[in-house]
């Protein structure tokens, strides 16, 4: 009885206040939730119309985290080494692969979704954005069976203020869909200002330096890690996280984000 009343209430609410697409602001009708490739289904999409969904183009390769060049067949062909200041210990190789799921962060539809998710506390966006990441990994045909999944952490005060860590929500969805173990490998030990407030690359690097520590080194030693965040902009945050993980014995690292700048 109670569930029927709730359903009726929701139907009436949708009639009086039809949901709008966050991309084009038009009323959302019946959704097929299939992109133009007709392979990627999005059962959690309740936020953008099919036309706007078709504008989100999933990539199908990994990228070099230095020059952003595509790495066909997910092979390391770029030849870049991670430059100073993070490559300070010659014992450790800090190279990693970058997986950027959908287009660029300049794409307005995707940018709006991530902005609402991250800054407007739209926690319920996580499954749909997680689907983007999962479909992308499948498109890349990556072999991640022996990986663990780890999110980029927020400082505790900031996480409490936001109410959740967006990278952790994405990590949970990815780990569940690939039947992988989720490990909160890192903790944030410095309450630095948000990277978006830093003016240039040098300031970003200084701002993020020594922000992370490994929680339990034994859980990541010799482990391959899928390191998850929402956006890759300058790369300073991901570089610092990779550096700390590698220095504590991590194996191969793949950085997975929704978009790159």
DSSP string, 22-73: TTT-PBP-----B-TTS--B-TT--SS-HHHHHT-PBP-SEE-TTT--EEGG
Using the predicted structure, report yes or no on whether residue 69 has a pLDDT greater than 50.
yes
Question: Can you tell me the distance from the alpha carbon of 260 to that of 230, in angstroms, rounded to the nearest whole number?
Answer: 9
| Cis before 241? omega within 30 | no
Residue 109: closest CA among 97, 117, 98: 117
CB atoms within 10 A of CB 63: 21
Q: How confident is the model at residue 10 (pLDDT cuts 50, 70, 90)?
A: very low
pLDDT of residue 217: 94
The β-bridge relationship of strands 212-214 and 186-188 is antiparallel
- pTM, rounded to two decimals: 0.84
pLDDT of residue 25: 87
Domains of the chain, first to last: 2-54 (no CATH), 62-260 (3.40.50)
Question: Can you tell me the distance from the alpha carbon of 252 to that of 179, in angstroms, rounded to the nearest whole number?
Answer: 19
Question: What residues contact 133, with CB distance under 8 A and at least 6 apart?
Answer: 101, 170, 173, 174, 228, 256, 258
Q: pLDDT digit string (tens) for 200-210? A: 888 888 889 99
pLDDT of residue 261: 83
Q: pLDDT digit string (tens) for 112-170? A: 999 999 988 899 999 999 999 999 999 888 889 999 999 999 999 999 999 999 999 99
Question: Can you tell me the distance from the alpha carbon of 224 to that of 252, in angstroms, rounded to the nearest whole number?
Answer: 5
Q: pLDDT digit string (tens) for 14-44? A: 443 468 888 888 888 755 555 444 456 788 9
């Amino acid at each position: 009885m109670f569930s029927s009343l709730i359903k009726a209430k929701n139907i009436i609410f949708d009639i009086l206040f039809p949901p709008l697409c966050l991309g084009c602001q038009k009323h959302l009708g019946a959704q097929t939730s299939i992109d133009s490739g007709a392979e990627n289904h999005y059962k959690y999409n309740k936020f953008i119309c099919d036309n706007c969904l078709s504008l989100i183009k999933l990539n199908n390769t990994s990228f070099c985290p230095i020059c952003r060049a595509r790495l066909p067949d997910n092979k390391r062909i770029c030849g870049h080494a991670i430059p100073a200041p993070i490559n300070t210990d010659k014992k450790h190789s800090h190279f990693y692969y970058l997986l950027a799921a959908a287009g660029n962060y300049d794409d307005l539809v995707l940018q709006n979704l991530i902005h609402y998710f991250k800054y407007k506390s739209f926690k319920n966006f996580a499954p749909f954005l997680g689907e983007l990441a999962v479909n992308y990994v499948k498109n890349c045909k990556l072999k991640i069976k022996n990986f663990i999944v780890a999110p980029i952490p927020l400082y505790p005060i900031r996480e409490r203020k936001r109410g959740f860590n967006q990278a952790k929500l994405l990590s949970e969805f990815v780990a569940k869909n690939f039947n992988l173990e989720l490990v909160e490998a890192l903790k944030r030990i410095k309450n630095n200002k948000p990277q978006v407030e830093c003016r240039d690359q040098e300031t970003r690097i200084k701002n993020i330096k020594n922000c992370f520590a490994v929680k339990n080194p034994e859980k990541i030693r010799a482990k391959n890690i899928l390191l998850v965040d929402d956006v890759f902009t300058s790369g300073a945050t991901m570089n610092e996280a990779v550096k700390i993980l590698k220095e504590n014995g991590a194996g191969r690292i793949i950085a997975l984000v929704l978009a790159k700048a």
